[in-house]
Structure 1
Amino acid sequence: MTTSEQLPIDRIRFVLVETTHTGNIGAVARAMKTMGLRRLHLVRPSRTPDAEAIARASGADDLLAAAPVHEDLLAAIADCRLVVGSSARARTIAWPELDPTEAARLMLAEAEQGPVALLLGRERSGLTNDELARCQYLVHIPTDPGFSSLNVAAAAQIFAYELRRVWREAGERPPIDTRDLATADAMEGFFVHLSQTLVAIGYADPQQSDKLSRRLRRLFFRARPDWTELNILRGILSAAQGRKSPDRFRRRTDAIGRQGPGDGSQGLD
């Protein structure tokens, strides 16, 4: 029998970034619990959950008690195979965007294979460009353009409701990608390596490469490499940095030739 820990909906976490008012943290916990979501993560809140948060949680204080508090965003999403960011504003560089229903379907499908995160930003300014650049997709709630201000707890309730509704209906979902996809922390390590390499080989100006960096993130997030593919890419970067000898394959071929046919050979996948 499948346990609740194995259900996809239990692998979806809501990540609140630098929340100012603890009451909003409690309200988000309540919104989540009413829809069967239990994974709440906090990144640098102005204050950890207090009496106001517990009061606004209205019985969801167990989610508050269990919520990890992280010093940086990457720590909160490190093991996630998919990260979706909530955004109310248009961005200079267009990012793949979903509506709440599409996001719920994708997140539930991806959660069949591993942890998934939904990022919710600050009350006043939302998520920064750098934080959104760590997301494979953005999700936008289509509010009235004349008054688009939406409280973070209200937004969380909409997302939680859509996740619950799609989960209950178990309707059409995107095809499940069963590959062993690289996690958020592995991708971040790759992007750091890529940036260093582009500077080292003279392709990128370290003072003016923000837009290039975001475009490359969008490219590789669209490709969504698995662990083997990411290791290949890291190896290419290391070679471009001169960490691998250009004649290493010739030396190996010479060694195999001295051993004779059939000795010491390796098959390639």
Structure 2
Amino acid sequence: MLQNIRVVLVNTSHPGNIGGAARAMKNMGLSQLVLVQPEDFPSGEAVARASGATDVLDAALVVDTLEEALTGCSVVLGTSARDRRIPWPLLDPRECASTSLEHLEQGGQVALVFGREYAGLTNEELQRCHFHVHIPSDPEFGSLNLAAAVQVLTYEVRMAWLAQQGQPTKMAKLETTAMLNSQLVTVEELEAYFRHLEQTLIAIRFLDPEKPRHLMARLRRLYGRCAISRLEMNILRGILTETQKVVDGAACKKGEE
């Protein structure tokens, strides 16, 4: 589906920005790059900034007009950082992503259009877009680098696509995965841990058995809120065991004195 989104860069002046945009696209799973009258392309600087996304650059289509770049598209979204005299449907990056996916689901082609580094898109060019997209950056320093703007929009598109596909947006660490897949402790194992914990707390004089003040009840409630795996229980029991060894060693040393 994402292969039906094309990123259109209009009259880009710095080839490094083309390479940076290509890298941003490939990071997010997009591959269609269209360049409208770039000032310097092909370029070694573009290749250097692409950092491995040279396949996107090699497949880039170079055209003379925005009309050519938009051929076959069913929806066009143009980025704009300035207020315009003529009101136009305005979207933020997240709305841009959801709108793009709606059209992709219907089998359409989507174009994300980015203007010149120094001036953006002209009013005439923006009027060829169905929607305008504004990235709500800090108004005190609102000018984004071209490749950064491409990254923002393509990131939102990917996040929306992952959610639509029911795919995770976070990569679980191996340790976390192992923990989730391990067997949970039984009631008997948890009770054994509480006995061990109580003994250790008494040994380090954190718990006074004459004046317990509901400490163990509070700890039971705390652990009761957690789904403790056997791996985690082994860690907890190991901590208690090593703590007791330190306490016993200190007692023996004191006795020798």
TM class, shorter-chain normalised? 0.5 to 0.7
Alignment of 1:25 with 2:3, yes or no, is no
Structure 1 vs Structure 2: percent identity of aligned residues? 54
Q: Aligned runs of 1:1-269 on 2, under 5 Å? A: 7=1, 9-112=2-105, 113-170=107-164
Give the deviation of 1:114 after TM superposition: 1.6
* Structure having the larger proportion of residues in helix: 2
Give the deviation of 1:49 after TM superposition: 2.5
Instruction: Find the residue that maps to 1:69 and give its secondary structure.
Output: strand
Give the deviation of 1:98 after TM superposition: 0.4
Give the structure-1-normalised TM-score: 0.60
Write the distance in 1 (CA, Å) between the matches of 2:157 and 2:74: 18
Q: Is the Cα contact below 8 Å between 1:26 and 1:54 reproduced in 2?
A: yes
Q: Is the Cα contact below 8 Å between 1:31 and 1:153 reproduced in 2?
A: yes
Instruction: Find the residue that maps to 2:155 and give its secondary structure.
Output: helix
Give the deviation of 1:171 after TM superposition: 7.9
Greater displacement, 107-116 / 76-85: 107-116
1:194-230 C-alpha deviation (Å, 9 max, x unpaired): xxxxxxxxxxxxxxxxxxxxxxxxxxxxxxxxxxxxx
1:21-68 C-alpha deviation (Å, 9 max, x unpaired): 000000000000001011110000001121100000000010000001
CA RMSD of aligned residues (A): 1.2
- In terms of Rg, which structure is larger? 2
What is residue 245 of structure 1 aligned with on the other side? none
1:230-251 C-alpha deviation (Å, 9 max, x unpaired): xxxxxxxxxxxxxxxxxxxxxx
Write the distance in 2 (CA, Å) between the matches of 1:87 and 1:139: 6
Structure 2, gaps ≥5 residues long: 167-257
Give the deviation of 1:149 after TM superposition: 1.1
Q: Is the Cα contact below 8 Å between 1:11 and 1:114 reproduced in 2?
A: yes
1:154-191 C-alpha deviation (Å, 9 max, x unpaired): 0000011101100001189xxxxxxxxxxxxxxxxxxx
